[in-house]
Amino acid sequence: MTYEAKNYDHLVGMQGFSEGLLKNHFTLYQGYVNNTNTLYKTLNQLFEEGKTSGPEYGELKRRFGWEWNGMRLHELYFENLGGGGQLNMEGKLGARIRQDYGSYEAWEKDFMATGAIRGIGWAILYQDQASGKLLNMWINEHQQGHPAGCVPLLILDVFEHAFMLDYGLKRPDYIAAFFQNINWQAVEGRLK
């Protein structure tokens, strides 16, 4: 199986995101796709050769989660961009946010605070599949810390490559620009 990088060039021109920042980010994403394909091929080869008990196979299996999630999280991130930033408050997601957080404003404040946490990682709005509850979570590394049984709905990349070129150390300004460009229709489409 070979994965193909998706084309997100339609995002170029988005308010608050320079072409240079986006093109660099697309290149980084392409690297995750390439590395996922390389690891997938190498792991399959080692498996077919019966070389699964050595450290090489184990370490590549561990690395695969980093590359795979780097690929998928970037796809989800790019796909929840390019919109007008206005959530339909009468829709399923708007209702669920109000139910779980009391108001959209309370949810947004919590999500922005989550995204502003010091360090590298992701701010992600998840939906717990067992209860339907929405949870704003901080994820440090692509492959670690994802809550079991939860589906990512809204993904905010807060690794430095996502904002430093345009915003320097002003992460809150980047988060504000992100909110102006959320494609809420894509986010709501992920809701179960």
- The tens-digit pLDDT sequence of the chain (192 residues) is 899 999 999 999 999 999 999 999 999 999 999 999 999 999 999 999 999 999 999 999 999 999 999 999 999 999 999 998 799 999 999 999 999 999 999 999 999 999 999 999 999 999 999 999 999 999 998 888 899 999 999 999 999 999 999 999 999 999 999 999 999 999 999 998
Asked whether residue 49 is domain-assigned, the answer is: yes
Q: Among 79, 106, 132, give the residue marking a domain's end.
A: 79
**How far apart, in whole angstroms, are the C-alpha atoms of residue 101 and residue 179?**
18
Asked whether residue 1 is domain-assigned, the answer is: no
| Binding site, annotated residues | 25, 74, 157, 161
Which phi-psi region, left, alpha or beta, contains residue 102 (left: φ > 0; alpha: ψ -120 to 50)?
left
Which phi-psi region, left, alpha or beta, contains residue 114 (left: φ > 0; alpha: ψ -120 to 50)?
alpha
96 and 75 in a common domain: no
SS3 label, residue 99: helix
CATH number of the domain bearing residue 150: 3.55.40.20
Residue 38 backbone dihedrals phi, psi, to 5 degrees = -65, -45
| Residue 127 structural domain | 92-190
Q: Among 55, 79, 103, give the residue marking a domain's end.
A: 79
How far from 52 is each of 47, 59, 143, 186, CA to CA, in Å?
6, 11, 21, 40
Asked whether residue 179 is domain-assigned, the answer is: yes
104 and 61 in a common domain: no
177 and 114 in a common domain: yes
Number of domains comprising the chain: 2
Q: Among 57, 79, 101, give the residue marking a domain's end.
A: 79
| Binding site, annotated residues for Mn(2+) | 25, 74, 157, 161
